[in-house]
Structure 1
């Protein structure tokens, strides 16, 4: 859909020049993390190993041993390693956090199973244990920190009560936070935690000076405009800071700025400024930036904003409830459409832009709960399935209904029923 030349958005723009393509912001953040890891081969190997550790520790033959070792080493309830989600990368923070807290126990389990009599368990442990090296611990610390910061934004973008203005503020705050992480003090604190965990796991600390990579003899006599991998990195700490931490940080910053562009942020702020329940309702700066994208008359909009506030306050004084949503606001100003032409147009645009698809995905999740293998009979029609889906999605409102009133109404309206309900 997002193809610039032959995608759906390109075909729509041929007809409607002002139709901006807005990708779901929750998926944009997910793609930021996916593309960051995909662009760094070492990071991709790290998450592959993380997945293999979860599969190995969750096996029926190893899991009792895993619980036993945790009870011996820690107080409190044992903790499970988290499965890696392919669709919600921010949730991988829990996987990194749980492994960080239980890495010494993981190493102990693998060491004991290396000498196990079962060849399959022993081979698996011998294959995983050497890969838990110092570089793995550094990546674990990096992604635990960065994914933890990104998870707050991910939860906000998937919330059913999404505040778009706050979401934009969180995007900008996340970018500012990552920019501040380039200071050496931040990595020094991270480095201390890595050294401490490596010591607990009895992993050799790789801080030896790195060998300088020499230029290939085939390139002698030629001007080489790039480094071609030939770089001198100081000691091991500098290598991990510049070659791993800053590399992941820079790629994540680049993806955040690219996918959360100024245009998308202006659209999100503008939609939130049209929400009567928002603190930024009728904010002049947000609505002006939103109106510019669609070629609206800013002079007329300025006068309309002043009048819409007066009309709204007057209706409230008369006892009318203030419109709680943008849909209610659009219906409220419909009789005054000729007067509030620009404002009414912006409301309709805001209602047509799907900034987030989290609500749609929740609907599909409910459909899976309703249409199970035991309930998938051919007798269920589309109307019944749709009604059950609505009840499942609106389960809070459904739970507050009085079922006795429904039974009484059904008994009064259907006199030819075969089952005597009362």
Structure 2
């Protein structure tokens, strides 16, 4: 029993360390975009190196999501044109959304604001799974549990399903069942 407990604790520590390393890498890559004050405080050379580092981080094979040099120029213009009040990433994105001249900046902020959601989505999925698998449902089959979990987690997709088409497709699979739905 003690051996099992130590394995579980060890795995938890490894997982937490991995998660913190991911967040540190995330901060190293995107920290200069976190607030308008941070953008204003950076020297030109530091800002340019941050933009080039972000360009390298957002490279997939030989395709770049943003151009680091263009991002640098856009951010220099943005710093001089945005209000003096402190703004976070959402505020900055909202202020440039209607302008078409900050394409790289818009892409960078969208990615910045999307990454935490992808991490939180996994955590929410496990929370939903815990709600579904209650004491009363402890004898449910794995297939049913998976189905209920998918329905609970993917509620947005579930709302777009046309039930009439679903019923027709289900009825067409088996001639005996057609009489039940008509």
Tell me the TM-score normalized by structure 1.
Answer: 0.20
Which structure dedicates a bigger proportion of its chain to helix? Answer: 2
Tell me the TM-score normalized by structure 2.
Answer: 0.41
